[in-house]
Chains A and B, each alone.
Chain A
């Protein structure tokens, strides 16, 4: 080392290259090695998880089906003015007849009908009834198609039907997202849906509100327990900790089935209440298949996620602070409220965000104990995937839920740091 400074030139490493470059090279090699170690997993997660999420997000705006199934009509409609109040020309009707015939032969006309029905209820039956006849259309000399189509289904004489087809011709649509916030494209652009058809904003509000209630009940129940655990001698605390960790490690299905048995009208809780005479046998409490059932069961399931972060924060608070406050004349309450409680806020914050994030995405528990009033937006997503088959809307609802979660996740990362998550 000493003789290198003597040369006066750049500092050299043992092999003669300048030290700066050598260090940079070493750093680069280190970075490469780190990346190589991470790469397999990163690729794995990208393929098995991130791409599916991306696919779902794409589905929430994708709308190729209309222009692919009805290529001629969408083309012909581009010159039609929807606000003119007049029906499209015979050429458009003829194009539609040709499209319908081809689609009916391939048996895809009902799919485009279902697609358009999401935007304008009634479209599905228009396409179904027309498709049934369309296979026998004689395209060469079957016209005039305007009368023919209207004869098959009078809704073809409704400009709204044509407007819907025109509006949803482009391969990308905001329709699903509008639908997910109870809006639709009307004659004058986006507008709210009629009162009777609004679902999702209320559902989202309900999901957020119930998740808040669950988070709040978790805070109330977790605080004393976490405090007790943090202030007991280690041996006792470890024993009691098992009571917190056992539910945490127990299968979600086990806990949900337990609540189902407990909460039923003929269940354990009602039986006990009847037995001790608090409740009449004919007036058993209805505590399942409603919001109450969901809140109780989910509070129980998520409680450990609140206790654990609170506990780890409370453990680090030296008891001398409260003692100091008391010796300076504070009452028990003041010492707690002014000195102890403020120091536990990070724990409450971390626990709350965690519980809230987990709560708004819940599906299983609300599905089993929530009835119709106690279900969440997740249940509606599942419904649209497997029953109503409106995958675009399911994806749009999923995208909105995902956005809410990501904002919360970002907040969690800011407050707690994702590296500091501890398990168990």
Chain B
């Protein structure tokens, strides 16, 4: 009897699964991403190939990933989710997952295994920091500087950013506490392991802000990843932090006189989340696309357009040369041993818990 029931149940499942075939998948998708070089790499690596396979599908891009949490909250409140798939950084994905704004995924069921059959959960490994999150890339937030404007001596340490005497000129920093506070403490003499403990106290927060205050007048604050490369190219700043892939495209593709400063680069993950509350047909399309876009080959393809490390272990060996420039990509990856001598390990969980507190303090400090 029990067996019959199980059989029935599983056949019912297959029927429902089969029923969601091509006809029942929506033909429109709104993908949310970051714009710029990164979005371009997504378009080339898997959106265009997907659209070639399924010409009936059309894709709308929304460059709102920076405001993903706010917008999803508003959509959720209205019960009208207009986004289908959202590219978000790991900490935002965790937040969306905590708030029930993104759906939890069975990674092994919805994602392709590696070509050798390793299930997805093992292939991604500990990069699956949240049940709602499908990581695509490992990137880092790090510094770039103008070789011709910086002076005779090149900066070698992240603390040179805080040294206005040796390296005068404006710097671009991201308008948020994450990374900046850690760099400030590190350069104020706090041990690397003690950074988050220090930051957990009011004195530690003030110490970090006071250190940042020493360069505040010389800082241009950015909110979009493309700003720093632009500011560097225009000579508006002599150095600035941004995502390493943006700097790569300024250096390698646009031949700007810019160099990387990898010291204390801060690793982070970026990936997809599926918003909660999608109608069945749209969800079916999204899952179909997600499965394709995050397979081993596609993630490796993406690394041919931008210098971010693919999140699957099985993709790493497939990364070769830049698709258009033909240069080796490995030395430009944040994970390359030459670049990752001294890295800052960014603590997602600590930031998920303390982000609201520190944002409030950082904003107050910024407005002073």
List A residues at the B interface (Cβ < 8 Å): 106-108, 110-111, 113-114, 117-118, 121-122, 124-125, 128-129, 131, 196-199, 202-203, 264-266, 286, 289, 371-372, 380, 383, 385-389
Contact = CB atoms under 8 A, between A and B. Distances in A.
A128 B367 contact: no
A197 B361 contact: yes
Contacts of B365: 196
B69 interface: yes
Interface stretch (B95-103, B159-167, B178-186, B259-267): B95-103
Contact of B360 (A106, A121, A128, A385): A121
Given A128-B98, A389-B73, A266 B354 contact: no
B234 A388 contact: no
Contacts of B367: 199, 202-203, 372, 380
Contacts of A199: 363-364, 367-368
A371 B221 contact: yes
A125 B359 CA distance: 13
Residue of B100, B206, B367 with most chain A CB atoms under a 10 A cut-off: B367
Contacts of B360: 117-118, 121, 197, 388
30 contacts: A106-B100, A108-B100, A113-B356, A117-B356, A117-B357, A117-B360, A121-B361, A124-B353, A124-B354, A124-B355, A129-B353, A199-B363, A199-B368, A202-B367, A203-B367, A265-B234, A266-B234, A266-B235, A371-B220, A371-B221, A372-B175, A372-B221, A372-B366, A380-B367, A386-B67, A386-B70, A387-B67, A389-B69, A389-B70, A389-B73
Nearest 8 CB-CB pairings of A with B: A107-B100, A124-B356, A125-B353, A199-B367, A121-B357, A117-B356, A386-B67, A386-B70
A375 to B, nearest CB: 9
Contact of A108 (B99, B175, B234, B353): B99
A282 to B, nearest CB: 9
B43 to A, nearest CB: 25
* Residue with the highest number of chain A CB atoms closer than 10 Å, among B67, B95, B220, B360: B360
Contacts of A129: 353
Interface residues of B, number: 33
B236 interface: yes
A115 to B, nearest CB: 10
B357 A122 contact: yes
Contact of A107 (B66, B99, B356): B99
A197 B364 contact: yes
Contact of A125 (B206, B221, B357): B357
B188 to A, nearest CB: 18
B323 interface: no
Contact of B357 (A110, A124, A196, A266): A124
With a 10 A CB-CB cut-off, give which of B98, B235, B365 has the most chain A CB atoms: B98
Contacts of B206: 196
A292 B98 CA distance: 43
A141 to B, nearest CB: 28
Interface string B332-367: 000000000000000000001111110111011111
Nearest to A120: B357
Given A196-B365, A388-B363, A265 B235 contact: yes
Nearest to B356: A124
B236 A264 contact: yes
B363 A383 contact: yes
Nearest to A153: B353
A382 B286 CA distance: 31
A196 to B, nearest CB: 6
Interface string B128-163: 000000000000000000000000000000000000
A333 to B, nearest CB: 44
A111 B234 CA distance: 42
Interface in B52-106: 66-67, 69-71, 73, 95, 98-100
A106 B76 CA distance: 14
Interface in B198-226: 206, 220-221
B72 to A, nearest CB: 10
Nearest to A114: B356
Contacts of B100: 106-108
A376 to B, nearest CB: 12
Nearest to A115: B356
A110 B99 contact: yes
Given A106-B100, A386-B70, 19 more contacts: A107-B98, A110-B99, A121-B356, A121-B361, A124-B353, A125-B353, A128-B352, A128-B353, A197-B360, A198-B364, A203-B367, A266-B235, A266-B236, A372-B366, A372-B367, A386-B71, A387-B70, A389-B69, A389-B73
Contacts of A387: 66-67, 70
B368 A202 contact: yes
A290 to B, nearest CB: 10
Contacts of B364: 196-199
A198 B236 CA distance: 30
B363 A264 contact: no
A264 B71 CA distance: 32
Given A197-B361, A289-B220, A125 B354 contact: yes
A117 B73 CA distance: 18
Interface centre among A111, A128, A197, A289 (most CB of B within 10 A): A128
A117 to B, nearest CB: 4
Contacts of B73: 389
Contacts of B67: 386-387
B34 to A, nearest CB: 15
Contacts of A371: 220-221
A385 B70 contact: yes
Nearest to A202: B367
Nearest to A110: B98
Contacts of B235: 265-266
Most buried by B among A121, A286, A289: A121
Contacts of A197: 360-361, 364
Contacts of A110: 95, 98-99
B359 A388 contact: yes
A131 B66 CA distance: 26
Nearest to B360: A121
Nearest to B175: A372
